[in-house]
Chains A and B, each alone.
Chain A
């Protein structure tokens, strides 16, 4: 894992001091709220419905157990004993006092963490595949590029007052777990003609009120040219992106207005100049960063490599193995998903005790390393196969062994009207009711992979466009209503869901989801997952069942 050196540490420490100064000026009145707002946003501090919310970056979703313990402590000391893992590999605290925010940043800096650029119209916390470094088929560890981007984008003097927020994600596997085509820039690490890693650069994807799947703007960019190409792309956006209307200010609108070819041409012209301006990372610096991501020393014993493992006679353990473990690059190891979606729980929430427990388990079973997924779950990336049963047993005691990763109750939901000032409707209670409706684990397993994503308004923080079933909260004459979309995907086969028909009330939407699931179970072909079935038959059969008058 990447370790800060004295320079990285000085940057976050200085940031804490700078923010202390800004908060003091705000509290004394020297700084108006209008001028303070973009500054606090640069430090991840939002004003929500009831209190300030602090969003802490977990760059590319990688955490040490020590960092996780600090996140747990912050929840205890400054919040109400909870943290909320988000869809962008951040953690949010919902009950923060402005005057304590600098102290929290200081606690974070002590473990090489920060809240820098987790909000505001800047380059946001860079995300990556949560299986980075351990995925079987990846071209190389995408966190190397992600860490380079983290440093390059930190306090970028030219790109800290962009027309709108800017999100970058990196993946290196043919299976896309980072939703790169729904980002402002999505980087897919591929092999060039000679088999060397290169970057496919997608630009202009996004959710919100105008969702776009990002077009490929640059194929096989040489790795050494990453920063000059990013500079060129951001400069075209900074100069020509719209600033007159916040709903049209994202780069996706510029790409769409110019057309992908013309946009690519403008970036290419700019890049031909930036690449001569000493913007690219020096090769020895790339090598220095790369070295931090060398694989750990894996040790295996015969028991790890054996086909059988302890405990597989227990059907509950087998169920968990089937959904919550994945193939690891190293023989004898597995990747484990810890679901933060207990039946009836709040998606992505973790208590102080749970965070500390996960930190302990990471030390015992996963070389002290934890990942955070954009699906609001946690990962233990390096678990020896012979220890899976022991880990599962401990997770079960902690209430963290729910075998639902990727299933119908593994729901993504935004904070919605319970916290968010922009919301039209609540999201969390809808997720909880759906989860309770499908509580029966056997039923969930027989339904199979199904991703439900819920947003409380058109801003789409819950990624409803990319849900196999997407749910969007709307306001209908002062009442909360929910539209349903079908057929979205945030994976390598990215697509935007389409609206089924008239919306439903809060109660009705849970019944509607069940009807959709039952319809799928009735019409699926053997082994056919939900999304494939929807793509085969279209929305028609679902509509018929949903809106049929009895």
Chain B
């Protein structure tokens, strides 16, 4: 499935591995959380960063000790109404300071992309038929936001000529 970010389609260089697949040398691989939990240090085999795939109900605090060695987190919603993905994003970015690529994969709709970006998602892997043009257009719709601590262009800060608190 195609992957895009805020600027459009991107080349995805992550290799998806099943829980039984051997680790290739040197390649950036995406593992399931279950495999990382099972294999521990062996899942990294001295070569990070790794990617990790989690579901939306995953307790993200468990990732905390591994985050410096993780370059990609892929979050899978149960369906497009599964709003837990937004909390996962904010926790990873805002609370745990994750700096790698944060990706949603599977069922979501173009109109959610601006919210996903504001919650820290940086790339998107959508199901076939996804209206990419609409998503990219919608990303440019709102110039400001009311919520503090999330990103720049915060209205409360702009009103008082202050830099926005929190991280982008």
Contacts and interface: CB of A to CB of B under 8 A. Distances in A.
Given A161-B82, A161-B83, A280 B138 contact: no
Interface in A3-57: 5, 7-8, 10-11, 14, 17-18, 21-22, 25, 30-31, 35, 38-39
Contacts of A401: none
Interface stretch (B17-25, B98-106, B156-164): B156-164
Contacts of A239: 57, 84, 87
B148 A278 contact: yes
Contact of B111 (A14, A39, A158, A281): A39
Given A5-B159, A30-B131, A158-B86, A277 B138 contact: no
Interface residues on B, range: 35 or more
B144 interface: yes
Interface stretch (A149-157, A376-384, A463-471): A149-157
Contact of A238 (B87, B150, B160): B87
Contacts of A14: 141-143
Given A14-B142, A281-B148, A157 B158 contact: no
A31 to B, nearest CB: 8
Interface stretch (B4-12, B35-43, B68-76, B112-120): B112-120
A86 interface: no
A121 B142 contact: no
A120 to B, nearest CB: 10
Interface residues on A, range: 35 or more
B86 A11 contact: no
A284 interface: yes
Contact of B146 (A18, A38, A121, A151): A151
Contacts of A151: 146, 155-156
A279 to B, nearest CB: 5
A408 interface: no
Contacts of B146: 11, 151-152, 154-156
A170 interface: no
A25 B138 CA distance: 13
Interface string A155-170: 1111111110000000
A121 B78 CA distance: 16
A239 B57 CA distance: 7
Nearest to A282: B156
Given A7-B155, A154-B146, A278-B166, A161 B78 contact: no
Given A278-B148, A282-B156, A284-B160, A161 B141 contact: no
Interface string A263-298: 000000000010001111110110010000000000
A223 interface: no
A272 B60 CA distance: 18
Contact of B148 (A22, A31, A279): A279
A277 B90 CA distance: 11
Given A10-B143, A14-B142, A279-B149, A158 B90 contact: yes
29 contacts: A7-B144, A8-B155, A11-B146, A14-B143, A18-B138, A18-B141, A18-B142, A30-B131, A35-B111, A38-B81, A151-B146, A155-B145, A155-B146, A156-B146, A156-B147, A157-B115, A157-B145, A158-B87, A158-B115, A158-B119, A159-B83, A160-B115, A235-B87, A277-B95, A277-B166, A278-B149, A279-B149, A281-B148, A282-B157
Interface of B: 57, 78, 80-84, 86-87, 89-90, 94-95, 109, 111-112, 114-116, 118-119, 131, 134, 137-138, 141-150, 155-160, 162, 165-166
Interface of A: 5, 7-8, 10-11, 14, 17-18, 21-22, 25, 30-31, 35, 38-39, 121, 151-152, 154-163, 227, 235, 238-239, 243, 273, 277-282, 284-285, 288
Given A38-B81, A281-B148, 19 more contacts: A8-B155, A10-B143, A11-B155, A18-B142, A25-B134, A30-B134, A151-B156, A160-B83, A161-B81, A238-B86, A238-B87, A239-B87, A243-B78, A243-B81, A279-B147, A282-B162, A285-B156, A285-B159, A288-B159
